[in-house]
Structure 1
Amino acid sequence: MTTIVVSYFDGAEVELDEEPDPDAPAAAAALGAFLALTKADRLSDTRHVFAFYRDYYEEAGRPEWLEEEIGFPQSPADIWDHVTPGPVTVEKGRRDDENWYVVMQAECGWDAERGLMMVWRDGATLTKVGGYNGHLTNVNAYADRTLENVVYKARNPEYTTRLSRQPG
């Protein structure tokens, strides 16, 4: 494993599970794009992670233990205070998906069991947020093509988030 510095998380050092395949230049390009992301990119992605938190909080019945543990974030951006970045992998899309994905397994203060899985298509666009389930896209996770632009697939549809711009 190699340690990488992730500007998206204010220069946090995390483990890269393995170097991208040298015979797959698109994998290295995806990792490079991910490493070029900044705090500004993270802040623009806040709504997806905050939606995951809100959905979890509501589904769990607004538990007192969670309020005692992390309180209720004063603003959506405060959710990042409860996210600890973790290991990163670079993976090829499944089946007919030719994209490469950078996947981070992070810890979060509200879902200690599953944590937070964040997936960036081609390293540049956050396209999936939620508890860790091993799927690179919501289309794969739910076998549902209508979820192509869904970033966070909520239990309560009010919290489902989508890409602001279409892929392409």
Structure 2
Amino acid sequence: MNKEIISKIIGRLKQEESFPDWWKSEEIAIPFFDNEKLTITFMDFEPEHDKTFIDEADQALTNFLKLNTDDRNLISELAYKNCMNFLDAVGFDEADEPLRQIKNKNEIWNFIQPTEIYVTRRPYNEQDIYVQIACECEWEQEHGLQLVFRQGKKLTRISDQDGHLTEADAYDKPDEEDELLSRF
């Protein structure tokens, strides 16, 4: 039997059968991606054990849904850098030539396709709420790309989809040594 929870921001979320601590919304227009419609999933959430999750997730989503393409363009340099670092690491492939020919860094978004948004609590340290956007991208077909926003406000990680919300968690280093997270 599937249960439901209610978000004041995105409405009804239905419990996933395969993952009972995942709760999925209907598709929502996302201003950050030109109002492209994506589902939002609350992950690792057990209502009986985390009484403040929905309110904190709603606040993070309120923050995130205020971000638009202008805000997205402010992080184009980081997305472009992620792409170029990957291409440099794997070596030349003719199929990557359109990426190498990008003149305006904002064009990088033409090569990134968001697929789903996850809202989850960081299991370590401050245990804040993070909004994580899973994306496919032209340069990293196997692991894709993720954009992670702490409290939905500010980008704190851009990387392949590796299951970690922060560089600090991924590489087991202190938060203050995590370049983007330490700026929050």
Shared fold per TM-score greater than 0.5: yes
Unaligned segments of structure 1, at least 5 residues? 152-162
Q: Secondary structure at the match of 2:143?
A: coil
1 or 2 for the larger relative contact order (CA 8 Å, sep ≥6)? 1
Q: Secondary structure at the match of 1:87?
A: strand
Distance 1:147 1:6 in 2: 31
* Contact 2:155-2:180 at 8 Å conserved across structures: no
Shift of 1:93: 1.4
- Cα deviation 1:78-117 (Å, max 9, x = unaligned): 1000011111111111222232100111010111100011
Distance 2:93 2:151 in 1: 37
* Contact 2:114-2:136 at 8 Å conserved across structures: yes
Paired position in structure 1 for 2:75: 45
2:86 is aligned, of 40, 56, 59, to: 56
Paired position in structure 1 for 2:108: 79
Paired position in structure 1 for 2:153: 124
* Contact 2:132-2:146 at 8 Å conserved across structures: yes
Paired position in structure 2 for 1:28: 58
Larger-Rg structure: 2
- Cα deviation 1:19-78 (Å, max 9, x = unaligned): 98674211110011111111111000111111100101111113222116x552122111
Paired position in structure 1 for 2:139: 110
Query: Alignment length, in residue pairs?
Result: 153
Letter in 2 for 1:136: L
* Contact 2:115-2:136 at 8 Å conserved across structures: yes
- Cα deviation 1:131-156 (Å, max 9, x = unaligned): 100100000000012532237xxxxx
Paired position in structure 1 for 2:8: none
Paired position in structure 2 for 1:6: 30
Letter in 2 for 1:49: A
Normalization by structure 1: what TM-score?
A: 0.83
Normalization by structure 2: what TM-score?
A: 0.76
Paired position in structure 1 for 2:118: 89
Distance 2:124 2:103 in 1: 42
Letter in 2 for 1:92: R
Letter in 2 for 1:58: D
Unaligned segments of structure 2, at least 5 residues? 1-23
